[in-house]
Amino acid sequence: MSRYRGPKLRIVRRLGTLPGLTQKKSKKKDRPGQHGKSNDSNTKKTTEYGLRLEEKQKLKFNYGLTESQLYRYIKEARRRQGVTGLILLQLLEMRLDTICFNFGFASTIANARQLVTHGHITVNGKMVNIPSFQCRLNDIISIRKKTNSLNLIETNLKTKKFIELPRHLKFTESTLEGKIINYCERNDILLDLDELLVIEYYSRR
């Protein structure tokens, strides 16, 4: 299944705020579709499967993942020791495109993915153009020493929406370098999500 490239506000109206997908807000309050208004009333109750599906879709659209990519992260989170839901979120937060988004290099994770793909980002001094690259503790994330790269990132930093940097990251504005000092905690994640329902959704696979 390919990555979603349709209208983003339609997804936000259905699933709620997704900071990694878009910063825009829809003026329409109802859910999309012919029966949008009726879905918000008490006449139609969401099933347990429907609740799990929506939580899975939140994760998928926020981080810009395909179905197969998300399932691979689920399997990796299960394989590791610890709380599966938290490990899953930590794996997604350690992706290079997500790290760049958290530093404020781009307004959305999709834009951060484009920055990485176009070769604007370096990890420990080496250019990396794979958005799904798994960063590690003490990695140094910086900008390539090119005029267009530096100008692009500086413009994005001036217009970033989120002021507070997650506690597991450290950013030096004078050198435009960021460092990963720890794994993220649950409270540091901007997305409003019940990750346990996502694990339950994939429990039969």
Q: The domain that contains 99 carries what CATH number?
A: 3.10.290.10
Looking at the domain assignment, is residue 2 inside a domain?
A: no
For residue 68, pLDDT beyond 80? yes
Looking at the domain assignment, is residue 122 inside a domain?
A: yes
Tell me what pLDDT residue 41 has.
46
Looking at the domain assignment, is residue 140 inside a domain?
A: yes
Contact between 172 and 26 under an 8 Å Cβ cutoff? The reply is: no
Residue 159 backbone dihedrals phi, psi, to 5 degrees: -110, 15
Tell me what pLDDT residue 1 has.
46
- The pLDDT tens digits for 145-174 are 888 888 888 888 887 766 678 889 999 988
Provide the token pair at 97: 């495109």
Any idea what the CATH number is for the domain that residue 22 is in?
A: 1.10.1050.10
Predicted confidence band of residue 42 (pLDDT cuts 50, 70, 90): very low
Tell me what pLDDT residue 18 has.
83
What is d(CA 126, CA 179) in angstroms, rounded to the nearest whole number?
14
Are 99 and 171 in the same domain?
yes
Predicted confidence band of residue 36 (pLDDT cuts 50, 70, 90): low
Looking at the domain assignment, is residue 86 inside a domain?
A: yes
Looking at the domain assignment, is residue 1 inside a domain?
A: no
For residue 6, pLDDT beyond 90? no
Are 114 and 78 in the same domain?
no
- The pLDDT tens digits for 87-128 are 999 999 999 999 999 998 988 899 999 999 999 999 999 999
- The pLDDT tens digits for 163-203 are 678 889 999 988 889 999 999 998 888 888 899 999 999 98
**Structural domain total, the chain:** 2
Say what percent of the chain tops pLDDT 90. Answer: 51
Tell me what pLDDT residue 31 has.
66
Are 106 and 178 in the same domain?
yes
Are 111 and 126 in the same domain?
yes
Are 177 and 195 in the same domain?
no
Residue 38: which domain range?
A: 8-91+190-201
Higher pLDDT, 103 or 26: 103
Could you tell me the CA-to-CA distances from 51 to 48, 57, 93, 196 in Å, in that order?
A: 5, 10, 23, 11
Are 119 and 72 in the same domain?
no
Are 76 and 138 in the same domain?
no
